[in-house]
Amino acid sequence: MSASVVPQSSRSGLLDKKFKSLGLEYDFDFVLHLPLRYEDETAIHKISQIYPGQSVQLEGVVTHSEVVFKPRKQLLATFKDDTGQISLRWIHFYPSQQKMLEKGGLVRIRGEVRGSSMWGFELIHPKMSKAGEALPKTLTPVYPTTEGLAQPSIRKAVLEALSRTVLADTLPEAIQQKYLLPNFAQSIQALHHPAVGTDPDELTQKLHPAWLRIKFDELLAQQLALAAARAARQQKKSFPMQIQPGELAAGLLKGLEFSLTAAQQKVIAEINHDLQREYPMHRLLQGDVGSGKTIVAGMAAATVLENGFQVAIMAPTEILAEQHFIKMKKWFEPLGIEVAWLSGSLRTKAKQEATNAIASGQAQLIIGTQALIQKNINFHRLGLMIVDEQHRFGVGQRLSLSRKGEHLLQNQYMVPHQLNMSATPIPRSLAMTFLADLEVSVIDELPPGRTPVVTKLFSDNRRDELLEHVRQEVKNGRQVYWVCPLVEESEALQLQTAVDTHARLQEELDDVRSGLLHGRLNTQEKANVMAAFVQHELDLLVATTVIEVGVDVPNASLMIIEHAERFGLAQLHQLRGRVGRGQVNSVCVLLYQQPLSKVASQRLKAMYETTDGFEIARRDLEQRGPGEFLGVRQSGLALLRFADIEADYQIVEQAREAAKELRENYPEAVEKHLHRWMRGKEDYIRT
Ligand code: ADP
Ligand code: MG
């Protein structure tokens, strides 16, 4: 192509940038940058033997070329070898290409055969190169790439990295034999440059034995990392809590207007069990939206408070944190506990007061946003950190969280207990692979008296009908949520859409008292709108996804989600969970706009078919992969690149077993393997 005028040094800087955007930095990154598919360029085909759909490589001459304008401008050429002729066609082309064709002479071309033997074959946009060049002896890899980075550049970089890297096997012979694993170096070579005749489907579907080895190694590394994290945690010290006499917990229960479900009692017992140990609890509390996780958190807090330690509760949004604050204050202040609030939006003076109260220990139960884990916050004696909707926090935040509160006590590193809560149920397969380091408690039963939310799908041409529903619901003394369309591209546009949606609804429903809640309101404004809705001074709450988590207004019985096709499954499930929280029958209307993409219609179908959070999570995993569940999407950290925890379940099992064996008998192999696969991810291992 055209000669580059960019000086060498800055061009390679540009290239490096492109490589980096693909996560390719060190040699080993390139070694593991495995092809998506392959092209067979090992042979020159004869025109007399080609067939439609085949990828071919031909050598011959261009006998004729012209630019035609019917039906549109295109470049046509006739190409001939000694067995026949075909047409070439370019719909987009440069004058330079035109010139090259006119020059004549022997050329090599590559492309996919179209047409029929009856009307003649043609190649569209064939690739051209010099004839007579040596043919490769192996299949040509096609790598995942990014815009502006051509295959030849990646191929070259991978080849160079391969030649510089020693691919010594990390696994002892015995392990390789036991699990019938091919050698690592050979597997890597086989995947970059497969021998002619290798089944292309086995390669692209990752079923080839070489793939088995790579997937095994990846899963093994993950299991080893988790085991290391668990071992490291058990080395740490925590304050063991006394569960008895439990007066504070008893006092809390007495003040409730309900009694705990069996499922809630079970998970509280599990938490208490952990709190008594000398190493930190690291437990995930799962329960579908509305299953009553908050009181479980309250009970755990009561135990730790009674032992004379501080408890912190952190939530991902101000709205959610504030709801917790209100609830905890109501529950704990009558019991003589000092409940404090900390968020980034507090005025300087109030923030300083809160910070001081946290440091002196005067504040006993502290609720807030991620402001709680800022550097300048020092707890006096933090015994338990509760994190609500923990998967919404990024890896970095979870890291500083795990470091928070570690402090020296009698020369020992003491770490607070940690309870993570999530309403996004994590499918079993995922929990076993990624969260093997976590203990998991599940609230598998909803409080009594709930009727499941009925979900309806409405095309948006039925909006008028829907408005009538809203009026009716409001007339019956119920409250309604209206979720604004999601505009992911731009925050400004999102805001505008919310404002417009609210204005339009106010006009359409002029006898309904409505309010608007969005992320750009300041804390006070948000709190005011929320309070007005809670106290039923508003009938209709128009909101963005800020209401997604935790909002709890049992009198709300109708939820409308506009442009539901734009939301993810987990998000829709969370939103729907805002209704059906009381005794009244509730409805969730998913308003969608045609045409629906396949994925979107699958999502809406899933929402229509089930209200079971686990089932929804399973389908979500199928559609989006595990990153979403574990909150690592923002960090850009790919969790598993090669293995698929559902499809490769058997390999997962083998890797677990092998990890155990390695840790017991081959500690050097563990070191080597982790070093190879986890370099740069040490932080992740710790979370
Ligand atoms: P989530 O698990 O979604 O955080 P919450 O803790 O907000 O759920 O609880 C949802 C609603 O159910 C709240 O109004 C709460 O007071 C109520 N609730 C919790 N536990 C019970 C119970 N055992 N019996 C009746 N209502 C309960
Ligand atoms: Mg909650």
Predicted confidence (pLDDT) per residue in 591-606, tens digit? 999 888 888 898 999 9
Task: From 259, 388, 552, give the residue whose CB has the most ligand 1 atoms within 8 Å, as the site to mutate.
Answer: 552
Distance CA 305, CA 282 (A): 18
CA of 176 to the centre of ligand 2 (A): 47
Ligand nearest to the CA of 294: 1
Look at 204-208, 431-435, 560-564 and tell me which has the smallest mean pLDDT. 431-435
CATH of segment(s) 247-443? 3.40.50.300
DSSP code at position 680: T
Residue 430: partners with Cβ closer than 8 Å, 6 or more residues away = 621, 626, 629, 630, 645
234: enclosing H helix or E strand: helix 209-235
What was the pLDDT predicted at 204? Answer: 87
Give the burial string for 619-628 (b: 16+ CB within 10 Å, else e): bbbeebbbbb
Question: Which ligand 1 atom sits closest to the C-alpha of 256?
Answer: 16
Question: Residue 407 pLDDT > 70, yes or no?
Answer: no
Whether the CB-CB separation of 399 and 369 falls below 8 Å is answered with: no
Q: Ligand 2 centroid vs 324 CA: distance in angstroms?
A: 8
- Say how many C-beta atoms besides its own lie within 10 A of residue 300's C-beta: 27
* Angle value at C-alpha 266, between 261 and 271, nearest 5 degrees: 125
CA–centroid distance, 293 to ligand 1, in Å, is: 7
- Residue 352 pLDDT exceeds 60: yes
Nearest CA to ligand 1 atom 24: 447
- How far is the centre of ligand 2, averaged over its atoms, from the C-alpha of 295 (Å)? 9
Does the pLDDT value for residue 186 go beyond 50? yes
Q: Read off the pLDDT of residues 86-142 as tens digits, 9 standing for 90 and up.
A: 999 998 888 888 888 887 789 999 999 998 877 889 999 998 888 888 998 999 999
How confident is the model at residue 402, as a pLDDT? 60
> Residue 418 C-alpha to ligand 1 middle, in angstroms?
21
What whole-number distance in Å separates Cα of residue 279 and Cα of residue 416?
9
Cα of 578 to ligand 2 centre, how many Å? 10
- Using one digit for the tens of pLDDT, what is the confidence trace for 501-557? 999 999 999 999 999 998 888 878 888 898 899 999 999 999 988 776 667 788 999
Helix (H) or strand (E) holding 590: strand 587-592
Q: How far is the CA of 292 from the centre of ligand 2 (A)?
A: 7
pLDDT for residue 57 is more than 70: yes
Return the higher-pLDDT residue of 289 and 166.
Answer: 166
| β-strand partners of 480 | 540, 558
Q: Whose CA is nearest to atom 22 of ligand 1?
A: 447
- How far, in Å, are 74, 89, 538 from residue 69 at the CA level? 6, 13, 65
Closest protein CA for atom 16 of ligand 1: 292
Topology of the domain covering 453-610: Rossmann fold (3.40.50)
pLDDT for the residue numbered 682: 55
Find the mean pLDDT for residues 365-372: 94
- Atom in ligand 1 nearest the alpha carbon of residue 296: 6
pLDDT at 376: 87
pLDDT of amino acid 35 = 93
Question: Sorting pLDDT into bands at 50, 70 and 90, what band is 415?
Answer: confident
**How would residue 350 be classed by pLDDT, with cut points 50, 70 and 90?**
very high
**Which pLDDT score is estimated for 210?**
95
Which of the listed CATH numbers 3.50.50.60, 2.40.40.20, 3.40.190.10, 2.40.50.140 matches domain 43-130?
2.40.50.140
Query: Taking a C-beta distance cutoff of 8 angstroms, is the pair 436, 229 a contact?
Result: no
The domain ranges of the chain are: 8-38+140-205, 43-130, 247-443, 453-610
Task: Give the nearest ligand 1 atom to 581 CA.
Answer: 11
Strands (E) located in 25-173: 37-39, 55-68, 74-81, 84-90, 106-116, 120-124, 127-130, 140-142
> Cβ distance 558 to 579 under 8 Å?
yes
Question: Does residue 364 line the site of ligand 1, with CB under 6 A?
Answer: no
Distance separating alpha carbons of residues 412 and 415, to the nearest angstrom:
10
Q: How far is the CA of 6 from the centre of ligand 1 (A)?
A: 64
- Please state whether beta strands 382-387 and 310-314 pair in parallel, antiparallel, or not at all (unpaired): parallel
pLDDT confidence tier of residue 616, bands split at 50, 70 and 90:
confident
pLDDT over 60 at 635, yes or no: no
Q: Is 294 in the pocket of ligand 1 (CB under 6 A)?
A: yes
Same fold, 247-443 and 453-610: yes
Any atom of ligand 1 within 6 Å of the Cβ of 298:
no
Asked if residue 425 has its Cβ within 6 Å of ligand 1, the reply is: no
For 172, counting Cβ atoms within 10 Å of its Cβ (0-12 exposed, 13-18 middle, 19+ buried), the class is middle
Q: Residue with structure tokens 């399973």?
A: 618
**Mutation probe of ligand 1 site: the residue of 265, 268, 291, 573 with most atoms within 8 A of C-beta:** 291
Cβ atoms 294, 324 nearer than 8 A: yes
Cα–Cα distance for residue pair 197/452, rounded to 1 Å? 56
Nearest to 271 by CA among 383, 391, 425, 108: 383
Over pLDDT 90: what percentage of the chain? Answer: 50
Q: Determine the longest span between alpha carbons in the chain, in angstroms.
A: 96
**Nearest ligand, CA of residue 320?**
2
Distance 192 CA to ligand 1 centre (A): 54
How do residues 60-75 score in pLDDT, each as one tens digit? 999 999 999 878 889 9
Give the separation between CA 488 and CA 565, rounded to whole angstroms.
Answer: 13
Question: Does the beta carbon of 258 sit less than 6 angstroms from any atom of ligand 1?
Answer: yes
As a whole number, the mean pLDDT across the chain is: 86
First vs last Cα of the chain: how many Å apart? 48
Q: Average pLDDT in the 404-417 region?
A: 67
Q: Which of 259, 291, 294 to mutate to test the pocket of ligand 1 (most atoms within 8 A of CB)?
A: 294
Taking a C-beta distance cutoff of 8 angstroms, is the pair 447, 292 a contact? yes
Residue 582 CA to ligand 1 centre (angstroms)? 9
Atom of ligand 1 lying closest to residue 577 CA: 3
Please say if the pLDDT value at position 398 is more than 70: no
Measured in angstroms, how far is the CA atom of residue 384 from the centroid of ligand 2?
18
Could you read off the pLDDT of 433-461 as tens digits, one per residue?
Answer: 666 667 889 898 888 888 789 999 999 89
Whether ligand 1 lies within 6 angstroms of the CB of 578 is answered as no
Quick one: 146 exposed, middle or buried, by C-beta within 10 A (0-12, 13-18, 19+)?
Answer: exposed
Average pLDDT over residues 156-182: 95
* Angstrom distance (rounded) from CA 232 to CA 405: 17
The response to whether residue 289 sits with its C-beta less than 6 Å from ligand 1 reads yes
